[in-house]
A and B are shown apart, each in its own frame.
Chain A
Amino acid sequence: MTKTEKKRGFSVPTVTVLGVLMAACAYFFIVQIAQDSLRPAAWIVAGYFLALFILLEATGNIALYRRIFFVSCALLFFPSFMAGLVEARGSISLDAREVFLNRTPFCHIVIPLSIVPYLLKGVLVFPARLSNHYASAYSMIAIWLFATLTIGRGWCSWACFYGGWDDGMSRFSGKARLEVRDPEKRLRHFGFAVLAFSVLAGVATMTSVYCAWLCPFKTVTEFGSVTGPSSYLAFIIFILLFFSLAIVLPALTKKRVQCMSFCPFGAFQSVAGKVSPYRVGIDPETCVRCGLCARACPTMSIDEAALAAGKPAVLSTCTRCGECVTVCPKRAARYFFVWKKGCGQDGGRMAGLRERLGQGGRAGRFIAALLLAAEELLSPRALLTTTGFTIGMIVAGSFATGTVARIMHLLATGSFLLGGAP
């Protein structure tokens, strides 16, 4: 840990308060909702996530610990999800019966693709359970609403159970083998084109075309049974897209290619997330135009030309991942509240008072520490990281528990499935 990183961490009282609150959240969202038989696994997952959160807040190294958390969520999500399908229906493939019974798990990517057909016909054009299930439409819509109102497009770096794949792969190698240069940065706009195409195709066919044909993450969730040429073609497309967009290209470019340029939900969230109170900004006064932030940004949301011209701008495609915040040597890149003009220094208003108090006796130092903790707790960084972490736990907690429980079951019995296939 470098000295700079250490300095960026919150004070001990702040980390303690946040840690206690996160421990309560971890208990509520992971341990309490777990079945009795899964409790040991739930405690392990809750402890692991809590440790990551405390490290994140104590060191201020958002980039590292968020990524470990995010990648963990993605990696722990899919084994549990797929094993759950095998246990429930005997296969991960989606057959006619599951579609007929409207039991297809609903994911957030369907939300933007369903809005126009819903407005036109008043129906959901996806065969999902509506309620009473973790992967039901209403559950996912409720989580999405909460996430949008709070972290906005931060969903893509804190809560999405797919994003961890390309996020992890984008940091797999130390150096980019394929440099994405300025003109190609328009790639970030390609996501909007995919969104527009998916919405229009969805309206034309009144089904979720992206889910049926283009979603790379079908490879790690479920896809239609291969019963004929068209389903075989879809199967090939899913696998090719997954390996190219979520594995190979992120590893070569060190950018989150899938999330940046191919995910319709990400593009949608760039717009919907404007209601979020948090933004990432670069203070032009402090910025030394070193360009580290732009190079670190995995979604190419920092305009290098504007940065060089002394007018740094962070675009709406920013996923609040904190890479730039962590990498900036001058702490010019930071989270800020949208109602603040510019992104001036966090807190600091009471720095003078704290300093004066700190020079006094023990009571003064105590009050100064309390003031610092209050300032830190109400800072956009603390609130965003806590909210993002909480939403990520809500989304992935039970799946992570399921995976750990299955690993424990595998070690004990030799079978990854809990209870076996039907």
Chain B
Amino acid sequence: MKPSLKRGFERLIGAGLKTLVVISVFLVPVGFVQSGSGLTRVLDSVLRLRVDPRFSGGTELRRFYDPEGDDSGAGSLVRPKGEFYSGVGALDLLKYVVYEPELDAAWSSPRQFWQLAVTLSSFADAGKAPLGFSAASIRIYVSTGGPGSTETAVPRAELVGFDPAWPWDVMVEIDGWHETALLRTADGRLSRRIPLISVPERKTVYVRLPLDIPETKRILDGRATRHYVIVCGYDPLASGLVLPVKEEASSSAGGGASSSLTPRVWDVLAPSAVEQARQLSSFDEAGFRYAVLEPVVAERGNPGIDLAALGEKARVEGVSDEAARRSEALKKASDLDPIVSGTALFVLGEYGRAGERFAEVLAREAGNPVALAYSGSILAMKGGKASSPLDAVRFVNEGFALLDRAVAAAKTDFEVETARMNRASVGAAVPEAVFGKSAAAGVDFRDAAAIAETRGDGRAAGDRLVASGEAFERAGNEGEAESSFLGAAALGDLSAAARLALASRGYPLAAGR
């Protein structure tokens, strides 16, 4: 290369680099502030950072859900008179989480413990307790498989007994008035305070059992443990600090007790309210035997569910459903109504022809929400096939503009459902790092599920709630994801794919589904 040409080339590169530097000096910081959340999304999609769970008590082993609103014992208990116990949900157990034993906790003392977490429906705190919940006294009785007891730690406190097959050997008492929990062993040799973390914003209290006693050391071999989780009313003056229940409610006792043996328990961890009522009504007045509680089992996986078989079932069901959809669409593809034929062609994957049908509709009626919704989806899909990333982003954004118009214009249930499902599907399909639409998709799927449920189509509702949960998960919003998954799990009829999605995440699937 001639020296003069080389010099010119070097100057050109130098000028280009300088220009880049100048642009970065002024535009990048402004862009940083203006699109801080966008940058975070991009970084998150690349790095997928998660804080080491050793800082938060370890990884979850099993999570159990208890129905909301079942805080009346066997169904008859009435809150005491006065404000202290009146908070809605203050005695309502919602979730219980068992963690893997943590042997090397970071920045924590002690470094070895076993964490358990209890979530209430509400941290209503009429008594202004230091830990943010004043009315509840939570008791966790655990059977780790050793010799234990079938009676409560404090005799005649909760008025319940425990499954003789699984006697408890270690238990914890938690209330909002002590900044530590009380650990007891069934043999009575140990009674000591242990660390407790209350997080009112999560309505959850976390307790850390030491791993230096024989009862908890047993769990280190990975064996299953059984747990009885009980919510009583907190009464500092009563036996075992448990609020008594009597026939009539007073300021110092709950009401609705049918017998002197009625358990002083407002909620117990059980898969359903019916099951809870059965356990809490099992006392025998004639034989003077307390109601017997049954434990939940904490072990790895989702007991009783064969995920492989469920996966195969979901695959077969998916193929069959798709075939049925295509067959139905084929019948309608040449329908005279362009909305019907356009939708059918869309299902058949003939997006070009479908787009033409919807364009016909929009030429006649520019604000037709169904045509707008499908046109938006088609435009966004075009983005997926664009050769240039800039074109791809432009197509998707233009598609979203149409989808937003469709949602705004939709009035009937059919229109709302179509518009939201289209927008949700596109929102869930496009890269979260670029468009950040997953959370909005979660909301859309949830709204579409509500419409399907109103129509009585529980199966579609379940699928949409699962899709909503998955979209929220992608957006990093675990609370909303959990809420959608729980909504799906509560439905009576679910597709195999929805059941698989729920079971693989550890959500309870009611028997018979």
Residues on A lying within 8 angstroms of B by beta carbon are 21, 24-25, 28-29, 32-33, 96-97, 99-102, 117-118, 121-128, 130-132, 136-139, 141-143, 146, 149-150, 205-207, 212, 224, 227-228, 230, 277, 337, 339-340, 377-378, 383, 386-387, 390-391, 394
Contact = CB atoms under 8 A, between A and B. Distances in A.
Contact of B33 (A28, A130, A339): A28
Q: Which applies to chain B's interface (DSSP): helix, strand, loop or mixed?
A: helix
Contacts of B36: 139, 142
Contacts of B21: 150, 277, 337, 383
Interface of B: 13-14, 17-18, 21-22, 24-26, 28-30, 32-33, 36-37, 39-40, 43-44, 47-57, 104, 106-109, 195, 197, 199, 206, 476
A33 B56 contact: no
Contacts of B44: 130-131, 138
B119 to A, nearest CB: 15
Given A118-B49, A127-B51, A130-B51, A391 B106 contact: no
B29 A390 contact: yes
B113 to A, nearest CB: 11
Contacts of A390: 25, 29
Interface majority SS on A: helix, strand, loop or mixed? Answer: helix
B45 to A, nearest CB: 11
The residue among B44, B49, B109 with the most chain A CB atoms within 10 A of its own CB is B49
Given A125-B106, A127-B106, A102 B51 contact: yes
Contacts of B13: 339
B56 A391 contact: no
Leading 5 A-B pairs by shortest Cβ distance: A127-B55, A123-B52, A138-B40, A207-B106, A131-B40
B195 A29 contact: no
Nearest to A130: B49
A138 B49 contact: yes
Given A99-B108, A212-B107, A383 B25 contact: yes
27 contacts: A24-B30, A25-B29, A29-B29, A99-B107, A99-B108, A100-B56, A100-B197, A118-B47, A123-B49, A127-B107, A130-B44, A130-B51, A138-B49, A141-B43, A141-B47, A142-B32, A149-B24, A150-B21, A205-B106, A206-B54, A206-B106, A207-B107, A227-B109, A277-B17, A383-B22, A386-B25, A394-B29
A100 B99 CA distance: 14
A28 B44 CA distance: 25
A394 B54 CA distance: 32
B75 to A, nearest CB: 36
A342 to B, nearest CB: 13
A150 B21 CA distance: 8
Contacts of B32: 142-143, 146, 394
Given A125-B106, A227-B109, A390-B25, A142 B55 contact: no
Nearest to B54: A206
Contacts of B14: 337, 339-340
B25 A102 contact: no
A99 B55 contact: yes
A377 B18 CA distance: 10
Contacts of A124: 49-52
Contacts of B43: 138, 141-142
Contacts of A101: 56, 199
A102 B55 contact: yes
Contacts of B51: 102, 123-124, 126-128, 130
Contacts of A340: 14
A28 B107 contact: no
A337 B50 contact: no
A339 B199 CA distance: 55
A96 to B, nearest CB: 6
A379 B33 CA distance: 26
A143 B29 CA distance: 9
A75 B128 CA distance: 39
Contacts of B108: 96, 99-100
User: Which of B14, B32, B54, B56 has the most CB atoms of chain A within a 10 A radius of its CB?
Assistant: B32
A101 B52 CA distance: 12
B25 A387 contact: yes
A150 B24 contact: yes
Contacts of B57: 100
Nearest to A142: B39
A122 B54 CA distance: 13
Contacts of A118: 47, 49
A122 B33 CA distance: 28
Contacts of B106: 99, 125, 127, 205-207
